[in-house]
Amino acid sequence: MPVIVLSLVIVALAVIALGGLYAFLMQRSRLISVLHLVSNLAQGQYARRTDPTGKGAAADLARAANALADNLETRWAQAQQDKDHLLSLLAVLDHTNEIAIATDNEDMIRLVNPAAARVLERTVDALMGKHIDTVIHHPDLRALYRQAFSSKVPVSGQVAIQTPGRTLHCQATAATIYTGAHYRGTLLVLRDITEVAKTLQMKMDFATNASHELRTPLASIRAAVETIKETGVEDVATTRRCVEIINNHVLRMQLMVQDLMDLSRVEDSRALIRSDRVDLQLVCDALASSYSAQIADKKLQLGIELAEGARSMRGDERLLTLILKNLLDNAVKFTPQGRITIRSYVRGAAGEGQATAAPDMQEHFVLEVQDTGIGIPPEDQERVFERFYTVNRSRGGADRGTGLGLSIGKHAVNAMHGGVSLRSELQVGTTVTCVFPVKGEGEGR
């Protein structure tokens, strides 16, 4: 009997020992799995999980490790998304013309795009980490940057920055960056509005010049009318002289209104520009006929020299007529004697003297109006295409024109994707050259 009891005790102890060993091995296996999971997390691998079932400390540890893995995977996905957004933003900033500078909470530059680097005449690397005050020296821009600290919304203002060769007009905006209640830095963005400012100035100048040009003839007309009222119609000589004054100034105002309408049409970006084959011989003959009386009165010679292969071109007949009309009008007015020549030819990209272009070179159709007139001083030649600009020293008197002819011609040439240039010598003459691209085989001839 004692032997049986002893055997049972030994068997029970063995079972207990085996159960404990099994539990130990299971706990050890769970711990090893948790260690592998933690190792993967340390290496940036967030997809692995361990078995969370069971009881005890090892199971609790496994569930905690899985929760940690879930949290890290979510954070990693968010970080990747934020990184993608940041890279997209940086790509946009790299390719935009707007100037962008971002600083941290100590006013040190942490982001700057190439446009800002070009304006500041430094490289991007040279600007990174610099204090904003060592880079921005413009007082208004500094004031705008500091003003952003005391404002809950972005602040804006216009500044003019001097750069080599020109003045840059910018719309500047400064905005502070916060994460919750913590200040992180300031973003400064400058948008180039130089062309907008130039356009506004041109409109103001245009209104001023137009008002001045209209005020002068109106004052003369008013003075003539007052003279007639004072002397009475019985004074035939005075009345005739005043009527002549009124007539001359009314004609001048009529020409100015017509020129303003032409200028408005050629500047209208919505206008349809045709591309028809235009017979230049017919256009030149019509203009020669309309100016025949003026040419005969001044005893001038008018030559029309259209090269072989350049007697017609592809373009807008209305604009071409307008171009030649204004150039011929100027030539007739300011050529007291000699000859006026309308010329056309085709040249290659290599130079004017080349009659035909090589197959791989762009051809150009050239229209020229040349005169033997009084010429234009060198200091005025760059400005004669401006609206209302007249060369007072050489182009005074009754025939001085409205100052819009060359401007109309230039805009008409530009509307046809061409370019215009001028060369002139005092008391020798002036040549205005209009160049138009020839887009295809035979096109423009």
Q: Within a domain: residue 12?
A: no
Do 64 and 118 lie in a common domain? no
pLDDT at residue 63, rounded to an integer:
75
- What's the rounded mean pLDDT across residues 248-273? 74
Whether 70 and 153 share a structural domain = no
172 located within any domain:
yes
Question: 71 and 104: one domain?
Answer: no
Kindly state whether residue 5 falls inside one of the protein's structural domains. no
Per the structure, how many domains does the chain have? Answer: 4
Flag whether pLDDT at 215 surpasses 90: no
> What element of type H or E holds 98?
none
Distance between CA atoms of 261 and 254, rounded to whole angstroms?
11
pLDDT-derived band at 396 (thresholds 50, 70, 90) equals very low
Do 314 and 376 lie in one domain? The reply is yes
In this prediction, residue 443 carries a pLDDT of 45
Containing structural domain, residue 171: 96-192
Given 223, 248, 271, the domain boundary residue is 271
Q: Are residues 182 and 104 in the same domain?
A: yes
Q: Which residue, 210, 243, 271, sits at the end of a domain?
A: 271
Question: What per-residue string of b and e applies to 139-166 under the rule 16 or more CB within 10 Å gives b?
Answer: eebeebbeebeeeeeebeeebebeeeee
The tens digit of pLDDT for each residue in 272-284 reads 788 889 999 999 9
294 lies in the same domain as 399: yes
pLDDT band for position 108 (50/70/90)? very high
Residues 413 and 425 occupy one common structural domain: yes
Burial class (CB in 10 A: 0-12, 13-18, 19+), 210: middle
Residues 377 and 444 in one domain: yes
Alpha carbons within 13 A on the beta-carbon side of 39: 6
Q: Kindly write down the DSSP assignment for every residue of 287-310, as one continuous string.
A: HHHHTHHHHHHTT-EEEEEEPTT-
As a whole number of angstroms, the distance between CA 73 and CA 80 comes to 10
pLDDT confidence of residue 82: 60
Percent of the chain at pLDDT > 90 equals 23
Q: Is the pLDDT of residue 326 over 70?
A: yes
DSSP classification of residue 435: E
Residue 105 CB burial class (10 angstroms; 0-12, 13-18, ≥19): middle
Give yes or no: residues 285 and 378 share one domain: yes
| One-letter identity of residue 2 | P
Within a domain: residue 4?
Answer: no
- Across the chain, mean pLDDT equals 79
Does the residue 101 lie in any domain?
yes
Q: Is residue 8 part of a domain?
A: no
Q: What's the pLDDT band for 4 if we cut at 50, 70, 90?
A: low
Query: Which of 192, 214, 247 represents a domain boundary (last residue)?
Result: 192
CATH of the domain at 106: 3.30.450.20
401 in the same domain as 265: no
pLDDT on residue 282: 94
